[in-house]
Amino acid sequence: MSTSSLRPDDILRRATAVGNYYGFTPLAAAAAANKGNGAKGNYPENLNLEALDPNARDTVSFLKHVRDAGLAPTTAQPLFLWHTNAAAGRPAPKQIVIQFHALGAEHAIADAVLIRAMSALISDLSKETPRLRLNSMGDKETRSRFARELTQFFRKQGTALPAECVASSKHDVFQAAEQLACSEAREYLPSPTDHLSEASRKHFEGVLEYLEATDTPYELAPELLSKGTAWAETCFEIRTDDRISAWGSRYNDLAKHFFKGALPSIGAILRFSVEDRSDITPPKEKPNARFVFVHIGDEAKRESMKMTDLLRKARIPLYQSIGIQSLTEQMRLADSVKAPYLLIMGRKEALERSVILREISTHTETFVPLDNLVERLRTVA
Protein backbone atom coordinates (compact mmCIF):
# COMPACT_ATOMS: atom_id res chain seq x y z
CA MET A 1 0.00 0.00 0.00
CA SER A 2 1.54 3.30 -1.06
CA THR A 3 0.70 5.88 1.56
CA SER A 4 4.02 7.74 1.71
CA SER A 5 2.57 10.66 -0.26
CA LEU A 6 -0.36 11.15 2.13
CA ARG A 7 -0.27 14.07 4.54
CA PRO A 8 -0.23 12.97 8.19
CA ASP A 9 -3.06 15.45 8.88
CA ASP A 10 -5.20 13.67 6.30
CA ILE A 11 -4.34 10.25 7.71
CA LEU A 12 -5.47 11.26 11.20
CA ARG A 13 -8.62 12.91 9.85
CA ARG A 14 -9.61 9.72 8.06
CA ALA A 15 -8.82 7.56 11.09
CA THR A 16 -10.94 9.82 13.29
CA ALA A 17 -13.87 9.66 10.86
CA VAL A 18 -13.75 5.86 10.58
CA GLY A 19 -13.46 5.58 14.36
CA ASN A 20 -16.58 7.69 14.88
CA TYR A 21 -18.69 5.68 12.45
CA TYR A 22 -17.69 2.33 13.93
CA GLY A 23 -17.72 3.42 17.58
CA PHE A 24 -13.99 3.69 18.38
CA THR A 25 -13.07 6.62 20.64
CA PRO A 26 -9.58 8.17 20.42
CA LEU A 27 -7.57 7.03 23.44
CA ALA A 28 -6.38 10.63 23.95
CA ALA A 29 -10.00 11.82 24.20
CA ALA A 30 -10.98 9.03 26.60
CA ALA A 31 -7.92 9.78 28.76
CA ALA A 32 -8.70 13.52 28.80
CA ALA A 33 -12.28 12.84 29.88
CA ASN A 34 -10.92 10.71 32.73
CA LYS A 35 -8.22 13.21 33.70
CA GLY A 36 -7.06 12.97 37.28
CA ASN A 37 -8.12 9.36 37.76
CA GLY A 38 -4.98 7.73 36.40
CA ALA A 39 -1.41 7.28 37.54
CA LYS A 40 1.63 6.33 35.49
CA GLY A 41 3.30 3.07 36.33
CA ASN A 42 5.94 0.68 35.05
CA TYR A 43 5.44 -2.31 32.82
CA PRO A 44 4.55 -5.46 34.76
CA GLU A 45 7.69 -7.25 35.93
CA ASN A 46 6.45 -10.63 34.70
CA LEU A 47 6.02 -9.34 31.14
CA ASN A 48 9.02 -10.10 28.92
CA LEU A 49 8.96 -7.30 26.34
CA GLU A 50 11.98 -8.63 24.46
CA ALA A 51 10.16 -11.87 23.70
CA LEU A 52 7.25 -10.05 22.00
CA ASP A 53 6.92 -9.40 18.28
CA PRO A 54 6.59 -5.73 17.10
CA ASN A 55 2.79 -5.83 16.96
CA ALA A 56 2.61 -7.26 20.47
CA ARG A 57 4.99 -4.57 21.76
CA ASP A 58 2.79 -1.85 20.24
CA THR A 59 -0.25 -3.48 21.81
CA VAL A 60 1.44 -3.63 25.21
CA SER A 61 2.38 0.05 24.94
CA PHE A 62 -1.26 0.86 24.15
CA LEU A 63 -2.49 -1.19 27.12
CA LYS A 64 -0.09 0.65 29.41
CA HIS A 65 -1.48 4.01 28.18
CA VAL A 66 -5.02 2.78 28.88
CA ARG A 67 -4.09 1.65 32.41
CA ASP A 68 -2.10 4.83 33.15
CA ALA A 69 -5.11 6.92 32.08
CA GLY A 70 -7.18 5.22 34.76
CA LEU A 71 -9.49 3.59 32.24
CA ALA A 72 -10.87 0.26 33.45
CA PRO A 73 -12.67 -1.74 30.75
CA THR A 74 -14.77 -4.73 31.79
CA THR A 75 -16.94 -7.23 29.96
CA ALA A 76 -19.97 -5.24 31.22
CA GLN A 77 -18.49 -1.93 30.02
CA PRO A 78 -16.07 -2.69 27.17
CA LEU A 79 -13.97 0.05 25.61
CA PHE A 80 -13.62 0.48 21.86
CA LEU A 81 -10.59 2.73 21.36
CA TRP A 82 -8.19 3.77 18.64
CA HIS A 83 -4.70 5.16 19.12
CA THR A 84 -1.81 6.54 17.10
CA ASN A 85 1.77 7.62 17.71
CA ALA A 86 1.18 10.76 15.60
CA ALA A 87 0.21 13.77 17.75
CA ALA A 88 -1.07 17.22 16.80
CA GLY A 89 1.50 19.98 17.23
CA ARG A 90 4.44 17.60 16.84
CA PRO A 91 6.46 16.52 13.80
CA ALA A 92 5.04 13.46 12.08
CA PRO A 93 6.94 10.29 13.00
CA LYS A 94 8.81 8.48 10.26
CA GLN A 95 6.46 5.55 10.68
CA ILE A 96 2.85 6.21 11.63
CA VAL A 97 1.14 3.48 13.65
CA ILE A 98 -2.64 3.35 13.98
CA GLN A 99 -4.29 0.86 16.31
CA PHE A 100 -7.94 -0.11 16.80
CA HIS A 101 -8.82 -2.11 19.93
CA ALA A 102 -11.87 -3.60 21.62
CA LEU A 103 -11.14 -4.19 25.32
CA GLY A 104 -13.51 -6.39 27.30
CA ALA A 105 -15.46 -7.46 24.21
CA GLU A 106 -15.78 -11.24 24.15
CA HIS A 107 -18.51 -11.62 21.52
CA ALA A 108 -17.57 -12.45 17.92
CA ILE A 109 -19.19 -9.21 16.77
CA ALA A 110 -16.18 -7.31 18.17
CA ASP A 111 -13.89 -9.18 15.75
CA ALA A 112 -16.18 -8.34 12.83
CA VAL A 113 -16.56 -4.66 13.77
CA LEU A 114 -12.82 -4.21 14.19
CA ILE A 115 -12.13 -5.92 10.86
CA ARG A 116 -14.71 -3.73 9.11
CA ALA A 117 -13.30 -0.55 10.66
CA MET A 118 -9.69 -1.30 9.74
CA SER A 119 -10.70 -2.38 6.23
CA ALA A 120 -12.63 0.88 5.78
CA LEU A 121 -9.60 2.93 6.88
CA ILE A 122 -7.24 1.07 4.57
CA SER A 123 -9.67 1.50 1.69
CA ASP A 124 -9.89 5.25 2.38
CA LEU A 125 -6.12 5.63 2.52
CA SER A 126 -5.18 3.42 -0.42
CA LYS A 127 -8.23 3.98 -2.67
CA GLU A 128 -8.15 0.22 -3.22
CA THR A 129 -10.37 -2.66 -2.18
CA PRO A 130 -8.39 -4.53 0.48
CA ARG A 131 -8.25 -8.31 0.81
CA LEU A 132 -9.07 -9.89 4.14
CA ARG A 133 -7.35 -13.15 5.04
CA LEU A 134 -8.06 -14.81 8.36
CA ASN A 135 -7.49 -17.89 10.45
CA SER A 136 -7.84 -18.98 14.07
CA MET A 137 -5.09 -20.20 16.37
CA GLY A 138 -7.65 -21.00 19.05
CA ASP A 139 -7.20 -20.99 22.82
CA LYS A 140 -4.59 -22.67 25.03
CA GLU A 141 -6.27 -26.04 24.60
CA THR A 142 -6.11 -25.63 20.82
CA ARG A 143 -2.45 -24.60 20.89
CA SER A 144 -1.58 -27.71 22.88
CA ARG A 145 -3.38 -29.92 20.36
CA PHE A 146 -1.78 -28.11 17.44
CA ALA A 147 1.68 -28.31 19.01
CA ARG A 148 1.36 -32.10 19.23
CA GLU A 149 0.19 -32.27 15.61
CA LEU A 150 3.10 -30.09 14.45
CA THR A 151 5.59 -32.24 16.36
CA GLN A 152 4.31 -35.36 14.60
CA PHE A 153 4.19 -33.53 11.26
CA PHE A 154 7.84 -32.40 11.31
CA ARG A 155 8.96 -35.79 12.55
CA LYS A 156 7.20 -37.72 9.76
CA GLN A 157 7.60 -35.23 6.89
CA GLY A 158 11.06 -33.92 7.70
CA THR A 159 12.77 -35.29 4.60
CA ALA A 160 10.35 -33.42 2.31
CA LEU A 161 10.56 -30.08 4.14
CA PRO A 162 13.14 -27.24 4.14
CA ALA A 163 16.06 -28.14 6.38
CA GLU A 164 15.90 -24.90 8.37
CA CYS A 165 12.25 -25.60 9.29
CA VAL A 166 13.06 -29.08 10.48
CA ALA A 167 15.97 -27.75 12.54
CA SER A 168 13.73 -25.10 14.16
CA SER A 169 11.08 -27.69 14.97
CA LYS A 170 13.45 -29.37 17.40
CA HIS A 171 13.36 -26.24 19.59
CA ASP A 172 10.06 -24.47 18.77
CA VAL A 173 7.42 -26.10 16.54
CA PHE A 174 5.47 -22.84 16.21
CA GLN A 175 8.54 -20.97 14.98
CA ALA A 176 9.15 -23.80 12.51
CA ALA A 177 5.53 -23.58 11.35
CA GLU A 178 5.88 -19.84 10.78
CA GLN A 179 9.02 -20.45 8.71
CA LEU A 180 7.27 -23.14 6.70
CA ALA A 181 4.28 -20.83 6.13
CA CYS A 182 6.64 -18.44 4.32
CA SER A 183 8.08 -21.14 2.07
CA GLU A 184 6.83 -22.85 -1.09
CA ALA A 185 6.06 -25.94 1.01
CA ARG A 186 3.38 -24.14 3.06
CA GLU A 187 0.60 -26.16 1.40
CA TYR A 188 1.70 -29.17 3.46
CA LEU A 189 1.35 -27.32 6.76
CA PRO A 190 -1.42 -28.61 9.07
CA SER A 191 -4.19 -26.12 9.82
CA PRO A 192 -4.88 -25.04 13.42
CA THR A 193 -8.62 -24.83 12.66
CA ASP A 194 -8.66 -28.64 12.41
CA HIS A 195 -7.72 -28.77 16.09
CA LEU A 196 -9.92 -26.03 17.58
CA SER A 197 -11.50 -26.60 20.97
CA GLU A 198 -15.29 -26.45 21.11
CA ALA A 199 -15.24 -22.89 22.51
CA SER A 200 -12.76 -21.69 19.87
CA ARG A 201 -14.68 -23.37 17.07
CA LYS A 202 -17.91 -21.63 18.10
CA HIS A 203 -16.17 -18.26 18.33
CA PHE A 204 -14.53 -18.58 14.92
CA GLU A 205 -17.78 -19.73 13.33
CA GLY A 206 -19.46 -16.70 14.90
CA VAL A 207 -16.87 -14.37 13.34
CA LEU A 208 -17.36 -15.94 9.91
CA GLU A 209 -21.15 -15.73 10.24
CA TYR A 210 -20.93 -12.00 10.98
CA LEU A 211 -18.62 -11.42 8.03
CA GLU A 212 -20.93 -13.33 5.69
CA ALA A 213 -24.08 -11.68 7.04
CA THR A 214 -22.55 -8.24 6.48
CA ASP A 215 -21.32 -9.02 2.96
CA THR A 216 -17.66 -8.78 4.00
CA PRO A 217 -15.45 -10.71 1.55
CA TYR A 218 -12.79 -12.87 3.16
CA GLU A 219 -10.36 -15.69 2.43
CA LEU A 220 -9.53 -18.49 4.83
CA ALA A 221 -5.77 -18.68 5.22
CA PRO A 222 -4.68 -21.90 7.00
CA GLU A 223 -1.03 -20.87 6.73
CA LEU A 224 -1.67 -17.55 8.52
CA LEU A 225 -0.25 -18.07 12.01
CA SER A 226 -0.10 -15.61 14.88
CA LYS A 227 3.40 -14.77 16.02
CA GLY A 228 4.35 -16.22 19.36
CA THR A 229 2.06 -17.00 22.29
CA ALA A 230 0.87 -13.43 22.86
CA TRP A 231 -2.03 -13.96 20.44
CA ALA A 232 -5.05 -16.26 20.49
CA GLU A 233 -8.26 -17.10 18.62
CA THR A 234 -8.95 -15.01 15.49
CA CYS A 235 -5.94 -13.71 13.59
CA PHE A 236 -6.16 -11.81 10.33
CA GLU A 237 -4.33 -9.62 7.87
CA ILE A 238 -5.68 -7.03 5.46
CA ARG A 239 -3.75 -6.63 2.21
CA THR A 240 -3.60 -4.28 -0.75
CA ASP A 241 -1.52 -5.04 -3.82
CA ASP A 242 -0.41 -8.31 -2.21
CA ARG A 243 1.32 -6.44 0.60
CA ILE A 244 0.39 -6.86 4.25
CA SER A 245 -1.30 -3.65 5.33
CA ALA A 246 -2.62 -4.50 8.78
CA TRP A 247 -2.41 -7.32 11.30
CA GLY A 248 -4.94 -8.19 13.97
CA SER A 249 -5.68 -10.83 16.57
CA ARG A 250 -7.13 -11.47 20.01
CA TYR A 251 -4.72 -11.08 22.93
CA ASN A 252 -6.45 -12.00 26.20
CA ASP A 253 -3.19 -13.02 27.89
CA LEU A 254 -1.54 -9.67 27.18
CA ALA A 255 -4.51 -7.72 28.56
CA LYS A 256 -4.55 -9.56 31.88
CA HIS A 257 -1.15 -8.04 32.74
CA PHE A 258 -2.74 -4.57 32.92
CA PHE A 259 -6.26 -5.16 34.23
CA LYS A 260 -7.87 -7.21 36.96
CA GLY A 261 -8.58 -10.74 35.84
CA ALA A 262 -9.03 -12.06 32.32
CA LEU A 263 -10.17 -9.45 29.82
CA PRO A 264 -11.20 -10.70 26.36
CA SER A 265 -9.72 -8.23 23.87
CA ILE A 266 -8.85 -7.85 20.20
CA GLY A 267 -6.77 -5.34 18.28
CA ALA A 268 -5.54 -4.46 14.81
CA ILE A 269 -2.41 -2.50 13.90
CA LEU A 270 -1.68 -0.55 10.73
CA ARG A 271 1.78 0.90 10.14
CA PHE A 272 3.31 2.77 7.20
CA SER A 273 6.04 5.28 6.39
CA VAL A 274 5.37 8.88 5.37
CA GLU A 275 7.53 11.40 3.55
CA ASP A 276 5.96 14.51 5.08
CA ARG A 277 7.64 15.01 8.49
CA SER A 278 6.24 18.49 9.18
CA ASP A 279 4.30 19.38 12.32
CA ILE A 280 0.83 17.88 12.42
CA THR A 281 -1.90 20.51 12.44
CA PRO A 282 -4.48 20.22 15.23
CA PRO A 283 -7.80 19.11 13.75
CA LYS A 284 -10.57 21.66 13.39
CA GLU A 285 -13.28 21.45 15.99
CA LYS A 286 -16.35 19.81 14.50
CA PRO A 287 -19.87 19.82 15.91
CA ASN A 288 -21.08 16.68 17.62
CA ALA A 289 -22.69 14.01 15.49
CA ARG A 290 -26.37 14.72 14.84
CA PHE A 291 -27.32 11.05 14.89
CA VAL A 292 -26.56 8.20 17.29
CA PHE A 293 -27.38 4.71 16.01
CA VAL A 294 -28.60 2.30 18.71
CA HIS A 295 -29.02 -1.39 17.87
CA ILE A 296 -30.78 -4.17 19.77
CA GLY A 297 -30.03 -7.77 18.82
CA ASP A 298 -27.79 -9.55 16.34
CA GLU A 299 -30.02 -8.88 13.32
CA ALA A 300 -29.86 -5.14 13.98
CA LYS A 301 -26.10 -5.24 14.55
CA ARG A 302 -25.55 -6.96 11.21
CA GLU A 303 -27.81 -4.56 9.35
CA SER A 304 -26.16 -1.55 10.96
CA MET A 305 -22.71 -2.75 9.87
CA LYS A 306 -23.91 -2.95 6.29
CA MET A 307 -25.40 0.55 6.58
CA THR A 308 -22.30 2.13 8.12
CA ASP A 309 -20.22 2.38 4.95
CA LEU A 310 -23.20 3.81 3.06
CA LEU A 311 -23.78 6.50 5.71
CA ARG A 312 -20.07 7.23 5.93
CA LYS A 313 -19.72 7.70 2.19
CA ALA A 314 -22.80 9.95 2.25
CA ARG A 315 -21.06 11.96 5.03
CA ILE A 316 -23.99 11.68 7.39
CA PRO A 317 -22.60 12.75 10.81
CA LEU A 318 -23.11 9.59 12.84
CA TYR A 319 -21.91 7.96 16.06
CA GLN A 320 -22.59 4.40 17.14
CA SER A 321 -21.21 1.55 19.24
CA ILE A 322 -21.84 -1.51 17.12
CA GLY A 323 -19.69 -3.84 19.17
CA ILE A 324 -21.42 -3.10 22.49
CA GLN A 325 -24.26 -5.51 23.21
CA SER A 326 -25.83 -3.76 26.21
CA LEU A 327 -28.65 -1.33 25.36
CA THR A 328 -28.07 0.47 28.67
CA GLU A 329 -24.41 1.03 27.83
CA GLN A 330 -25.28 2.19 24.32
CA MET A 331 -27.77 4.71 25.70
CA ARG A 332 -25.20 5.96 28.22
CA LEU A 333 -22.77 6.64 25.39
CA ALA A 334 -25.56 8.23 23.33
CA ASP A 335 -26.29 10.65 26.18
CA SER A 336 -22.61 11.66 26.30
CA VAL A 337 -22.64 12.53 22.59
CA LYS A 338 -25.66 14.87 23.03
CA ALA A 339 -26.94 14.26 19.50
CA PRO A 340 -30.40 15.67 18.66
CA TYR A 341 -31.54 12.44 16.97
CA LEU A 342 -31.48 8.73 17.72
CA LEU A 343 -31.65 5.97 15.14
CA ILE A 344 -33.11 2.88 16.79
CA MET A 345 -33.14 -0.59 15.28
CA GLY A 346 -34.31 -3.81 16.90
CA ARG A 347 -34.99 -7.25 15.47
CA LYS A 348 -38.38 -6.22 14.07
CA GLU A 349 -36.94 -3.20 12.28
CA ALA A 350 -33.96 -5.18 10.97
CA LEU A 351 -36.23 -7.84 9.46
CA GLU A 352 -38.46 -5.13 7.95
CA ARG A 353 -35.39 -3.17 6.77
CA SER A 354 -36.41 -0.01 8.55
CA VAL A 355 -35.22 2.18 11.41
CA ILE A 356 -36.89 4.43 13.97
CA LEU A 357 -35.81 8.08 13.76
CA ARG A 358 -36.43 9.74 17.15
CA GLU A 359 -36.06 13.48 17.76
CA ILE A 360 -34.83 13.57 21.34
CA SER A 361 -36.21 17.00 22.29
CA THR A 362 -39.79 16.17 21.25
CA HIS A 363 -39.72 12.34 21.47
CA THR A 364 -41.24 12.32 17.99
CA GLU A 365 -40.64 9.04 16.20
CA THR A 366 -40.75 8.23 12.50
CA PHE A 367 -40.28 4.88 10.79
CA VAL A 368 -37.86 5.22 7.88
CA PRO A 369 -37.18 2.45 5.31
CA LEU A 370 -33.46 1.75 4.97
CA ASP A 371 -33.66 2.34 1.23
CA ASN A 372 -34.65 5.97 1.96
CA LEU A 373 -32.54 6.51 5.06
CA VAL A 374 -29.74 8.61 3.52
CA GLU A 375 -32.22 10.97 1.83
CA ARG A 376 -34.29 11.29 5.03
CA LEU A 377 -31.30 12.00 7.24
CA ARG A 378 -30.01 14.64 4.86
CA THR A 379 -33.23 16.61 5.37
CA VAL A 380 -32.50 16.97 9.10
CA ALA A 381 -28.70 16.89 9.04
140-166 pLDDT, tens per residue? 899 899 999 999 999 998 888 889 999
For residue 243, is pLDDT > 90?
no
Last residue of a domain, one of 224, 242, 273: 273
**186 and 231, same domain (yes or no):** no
For residue 260, is pLDDT > 70?
yes
Which helix (H) or strand (E) element contains residue 358? Answer: strand 354-359
Q: What is the pLDDT of residue 1?
A: 44
| Averaged pLDDT, 241-250 | 85
Cβ pair 25, 19 in contact under 8 A: yes
pLDDT digits (tens, 9 = 90+) for 340-378: 999 999 999 999 999 999 999 999 999 999 999 999 999
pLDDT digits (tens, 9 = 90+) for 162-183: 899 999 999 889 889 988 988 8
**184 and 204, same domain (yes or no):** no
Length of the chain: 381
For residue 329, is pLDDT > 80?
yes
DSSP characters over 50-109 = GGS-HHHHHHHHHHHHHHHTT----SSS-EEEEEES--TTSBPPSEEEEEEEEES--SHH
Q: Specify if 265 maps to a domain.
A: yes
**99 and 155, same domain (yes or no):** no
pLDDT digits (tens, 9 = 90+) for 63-113: 999 999 999 999 888 999 999 998 878 888 888 999 999 999 999 999 999
Last residue of a domain, one of 273, 303, 332: 273
Q: Specify if 121 maps to a domain.
A: yes
Q: What is the pLDDT of residue 280?
A: 81
Q: Specify if 285 maps to a domain.
A: no
Total number of domains constituting the chain: 3
pLDDT digits (tens, 9 = 90+) for 32-63: 888 767 778 888 888 888 888 899 999 999 99
Q: What is the pLDDT of residue 365?
A: 93
For residue 222, is pLDDT > 70?
yes
**Whole-angstrom Cα distance, residue 203 to residue 108?**
6
Question: For residue 10, what are the contacts with CB-CB under 8 A and spacing of at least 6?
Answer: none
- Structural domain that includes position 155: 140-193
Q: Specify if 282 maps to a domain.
A: no
For residue 203, is pLDDT > 60?
yes
**119 and 174, same domain (yes or no):** no
**128 and 242, same domain (yes or no):** yes
Question: For residue 242, what are the contacts with CB-CB under 8 A and spacing of at least 6?
Answer: none
**Whole-angstrom Cα distance, residue 365 to residue 27?**
34
Q: Specify if 85 maps to a domain.
A: yes
Q: Which of 78-82, 195-199, 265-269, 286-290 has the lowest mean pLDDT?
A: 286-290
Which helix (H) or strand (E) element contains residue 314? Answer: none
**119 and 186, same domain (yes or no):** no
| Averaged pLDDT, 291-295 | 91
